[in-house]
Amino acid sequence: MKKINSLDYNTLIWFILRSCYTELTFTSLIYHIKQDSWISIIIGSLLGIIPFTIYELLKQKYPNDNLITINKKIYKKCGNIINIILLIGCLIASFCLFWILIHFTNALFLAKTSPWIISLVLIIPVGYASTKEIHIIGKISLILFYINIIFNIIIMIGLTGNIDLNGIKPILENKISKIFSYSFIFIGFNIAKLFFLTIISKNEIRNYSTKINLLTYIISCINMLSIIITTICVFGIDLTALYEYPAFQILKRVNIVGALDRIENILSLEAIFSDFILIIMIMYYARKIIKETFNTKQKANKYIIIFICLFTVFTSNTIFLTHEEGEHFFETKLLYIIYFICVFIPLITFLKSLNNKDRKLSQQPK
């Protein structure tokens, strides 16, 4: 079994944390709590250390197992039932996230192209990559990460001189309780998705380091915080709230000595990279659940994933009639589903593992 490098693994952390941020989380926070959005990001980043720690502790406690095999060990016969619940949750998440990717691509790049055509084009690399082993997915993530870093440097240089920090004033226009409650949107749609990395056991990662993982988490959260502050400080909250994707409208202000025209179309690709990596990891997670739960052969398992990908195309194009209907579902039902499968189940699994350990100690002869 080939292992994934620690650097490759950390690029997966980077992309998964950033996926759906500018397309969903950003716009939702701006709409509901306006210039106090950045405070919710800070609160969410601090509280998000809790699920991050749960995932890390499970890796440390069971270095040779992923969450699927851990569930089978802890819950015994009920482990397969838990894993099937996770599979259903993964499929629902993949349908919704692929819908976000399709409509984002359609809105920014291919407005006159049918979403069916866009989805068919996008699902091909997703299906191909998700049938590969994790070290190959890690290499794909690493390559996209280097491109992403170049984009971020260009954005930082291009926006120099456009930022006015008075844009975030006045502070605390909303009640603290409301700001606190909306931080859970950030946790659910960004941080909790690190759950999908629990499919990779600790011993599958070469030179694994919790400290480096935590550092990647902190840098990623700071980067997302800087995006929302920069956008508000450049546009002002009123103009920011008018745009459908304000974090990408700001890219029109990026100017590199007049050498590049319509650079926002190039820089916006980084969001597609993040969504792309997340959907691949969800499909990979689903593939592993099917294999571990139903003992399918490798060839049959690949065919099942291809079928799921095609079903995702159909579902993503028919699940929501309007954009508003989709966003309402994401902020309510989907958010609850994500918290259930990505936070509640791992938390209960971890607590039960501690309880099992205590039982073993109590049964030892004195």
pLDDT averaged over every residue in the chain: 84
Taking CA atoms, 232 is separated from 100, 168, 174, 240, 348, in Å, by 23, 6, 16, 6, 39
**Which of 112-121, 196-205, 210-219 is predicted with the least confidence, judged by mean pLDDT?**
112-121
pLDDT in tens, 225-247: 988 888 888 777 877 777 777 77
Per-residue pLDDT at 261 exceeds 60: no
pLDDT in tens, 10-50: 999 999 998 888 888 888 888 888 888 899 999 999 999 99
The per-residue pLDDT for 266 is 59
The per-residue pLDDT for 32 is 86
Taking CA atoms, 283 is separated from 8, 91, 300, 302, 361, in Å, by 18, 8, 15, 11, 39
Residue 20's region, left for phi above 0, alpha for psi from -120 to 50, else beta, is left
pLDDT in tens, 323-362: 777 777 888 888 999 999 999 999 999 999 887 654 443 3
Query: Domain ranges in the chain?
Result: 4-358
Q: How confident is the model at residue 67 (pLDDT cuts 50, 70, 90)?
A: very high
Per-residue pLDDT at 254 exceeds 80: no
* CA-closest candidate to residue 309, choices 286, 330, 341: 286
Question: Mean pLDDT throughout 173-199?
Answer: 91
Per-residue pLDDT at 173 exceeds 90: no
Question: Mean pLDDT throughout 156-178?
Answer: 73
Q: How confident is the model at residue 252 (pLDDT cuts 50, 70, 90)?
A: low
Per-residue pLDDT at 309 exceeds 50: yes
Query: In angstroms, how far is CA 240 from the centroid of its own chain?
Result: 23
How far apart (Å, rounded) are the C-alpha atoms in residues 36 and 241?
Answer: 13
Tokens of 147: 């491109």
The per-residue pLDDT for 364 is 46
Per-residue pLDDT at 260 exceeds 50: no
Percentage of residues in the chain with pLDDT exceeding 70? Answer: 87
Question: Mean pLDDT throughout 91-115?
Answer: 84
Half-sphere exposure of 52 (CA within 13 A, CB side): 22
The per-residue pLDDT for 70 is 93
The per-residue pLDDT for 164 is 65
How far apart (Å, rounded) are the C-alpha atoms in residues 187 and 51?
Answer: 9
Asked if residues 173 and 34 have their Cβ atoms less than 8 Å apart, the reply is yes
Q: Is 334 helix (H, G, I), strand (E, B) or coil?
A: helix
**Which of 61-75, 132-146, 245-259 is predicted with the least confidence, judged by mean pLDDT?**
245-259
Per-residue pLDDT at 194 exceeds 90: yes
Task: Show Cβ contacts of residue 52 under 8 Å, excluding neighbours closer than 6 positions.
Answer: 191, 194, 214, 217
The per-residue pLDDT for 57 is 93
Asked if residues 292 and 83 have their Cβ atoms less than 8 Å apart, the reply is yes
The per-residue pLDDT for 365 is 46
Per-residue pLDDT at 308 exceeds 70: yes
CATH class of the domain defined by 4-358 = mainly alpha
Task: Show Cβ contacts of residue 314 under 8 Å, excluding neighbours closer than 6 positions.
Answer: none
Q: How confident is the model at residue 255 (pLDDT cuts 50, 70, 90)?
A: low
- Crossing angle of helices 345-363 and 79-108, in 10° steps, is 150
Tokens of 77: 């016969």
pLDDT in tens, 262-302: 555 555 677 788 888 899 999 999 999 998 888 888 788 88
| For the chain, the helix, strand and coil percentages under 3-state DSSP, each to the nearest 5 | 80, 0, 15
